[in-house]
Amino acid sequence: MENTKQKEKKTWYSSHWFAVILGALIGFVNGFWGGGGGMLCVPALAWLSKLPDKKAHATTIFVMLPLCLASFIIYYVKGFVTFDTNMWVITAGFVAGGVLGAICLKKINNTILQFVFALVIIAGGIRLVM
């Protein structure tokens, strides 16, 4: 009797260990530079989990929350966090921009989203090289 369920083909990148190592790399990048892990996390989630672009972006925000909190605590304990007026103004803008970005993500066309995301990654790479 044949098994009616098809077995999924296992690949090196479909293992849980690969996902853990990739997650650790993304966490390291975010913790080391204080950000930037999302640039790696979005394509990783889209590729590994086969998530549509919008879900990959939104899920990345969820994944990054505990990572950012952990990094903040470490930076705070080490004395690298500044609580001055500029920080609070930037934080207010950051929160407002995050809300606006989440609203726009829901409405933006997937092709435009991919294009803009690619431009941001390329611009960041060029800036690092310069």
Question: For the chain, which residues make up each domain, given as ranges?
Answer: 13-129
User: Is the predicted pLDDT of residue 130 greater than 90, yes or no?
Assistant: no
Q: How far apart are CA 26 and CA 40, in angstroms?
A: 6
Return the pLDDT at 77.
Answer: 95
Maximum Cα–Cα distance for the chain, whole Å? 72
Return the pLDDT at 40.
Answer: 85
What are the tens digits of pLDDT across the range 65-113? 888 888 889 889 999 988 888 889 998 999 999 899 889 888 888 889 8
Range with the largest mean pLDDT of 2-6, 26-30, 61-65, 92-96: 92-96
User: Is the predicted pLDDT of residue 10 greater than 50, yes or no?
Assistant: yes
| Per-state percent for the chain, helix, strand, coil, to nearest 5 | 80, 0, 20
pTM of the predicted protein model: 0.68
Calculate the CA 6 to chain-centre distance: 33
